[in-house]
Amino acid sequence: MSSMKAKFVSVGKEVVSLCAVLAVAGVLFLPGKGTAQIINMNDNGSQVSVNLGSQAGMNNWSVNGQNQLIQQWFWYQTGGGVAQSIDTISTPSVTTATGSSGINMLSATYENSQLSLTIQYVLSGGGAGAGNADMLESISIQNVSSSALNLNFYEYSHFNLLADGNNNAVQLFGNGVIGGLPFTAVRQSNSYTFIEEAIIPPYANYGEAAIAGQTLNELNTVPGLVLNDNASAGPGDVTWAFQWVQNDLAPGQVFDVSIAKGLSNQPIPEPTTVALIALGLGAWGMARRRQSS
């Protein structure tokens, strides 16, 4: 455990502080409802662009003016067949909240005859010139049909750190040990630049680290896809994905996924662990679930 902790770097004190605030107060989205499909977020030196109407998803995440992201989005599958990206469910209903720098909170809800799916983003920049930013993502999926559903939910991420597709490496972590299951965290790095993600329970049932192209093609073509649990990839142009399985999701039942991401291009990051971030996110996630129950 000590060697693993030494490898991990903080995704920022800001996430822990923000989690504590949200756990007490809940996420408050201020007026700004609509159906806009491309939302640009901005907070304390960090910019994010989310295309809610296509697989492009979150396709820009910049700190210090440099974009480190190509694509990060979500897929789902119920009862077999090929997974579909969540934007195929419906046109989203969108709510945003504005901070001192611009939109820093975003909520989008997709609904059809089977599912009501809401995704929420909370962006926290580290400040002008700080070189780091955090993102909280929460997804709430409710079975609105009259029958139980077998749900598979996927997160796909393609970061190109330093715009250098030759030297990125990614490692998935599970339950405190490398390669263990279920998957709880991931770290992708290129020199001193890194992206880390921590998941609170329910942890991902499956994961997949790969060279760019492989997993995205599987998501869009393979019926009944089960990720292959490959825990590392690179150096090269790498991607990662996680898969949650919820069988027999009863009518009216809600399935929640909560994720914390930290992005940094600082030469000397602050030493701590993704586990600390997960604890803060856990408090936030439990508070959010109590509000929805």
231-278: per-residue pLDDT in tens?
999 999 999 999 999 999 999 999 999 999 999 886 544 434 444 454
In this predicted structure, what is the pLDDT of residue 213? 95
Query: Quick one: which of 246, 283, 20 has its CA closest to 117?
Result: 246
Q: Count Cβ atoms within 10 A of the Cβ of residue 166 and give its class: 0-12 exposed, 13-18 middle, 19 or more buried.
A: exposed
Q: Does the pLDDT of residue 27 top 90, yes or no? A: no
Backbone phi and psi for residue 274, each to the nearest 5 degrees, phi listed first: -60, -30
pLDDT, averaged across the chain: 83
Q: Which two tokens stand for residue 84?
A: 């579909």
Which stretch of DSSP H or E encloses residue 200? none
Q: Is the dihedral of CA 156, 34, 134, 198 positive or negative?
A: negative
Read off the pLDDT band of 79 (50, 70, 90).
confident
pLDDT in tens, 141-179: 999 999 999 999 999 999 999 999 899 999 999 865 555
**Residue 51 or 22, more confident:** 51
In this predicted structure, what is the pLDDT of residue 269? 45
Domains defined along the chain, listed by start: 2-292 (2.70.98)
In this predicted structure, what is the pLDDT of residue 192? 86
In this predicted structure, what is the pLDDT of residue 24? 37
Pairing of strands 132-143, 149-159: unpaired
Amino acid at 190: N
Phi/psi region, residue 57 (left: phi>0; alpha: psi -120 to 50; beta: rest), is left
In this predicted structure, what is the pLDDT of residue 167? 93
In this predicted structure, what is the pLDDT of residue 35? 55
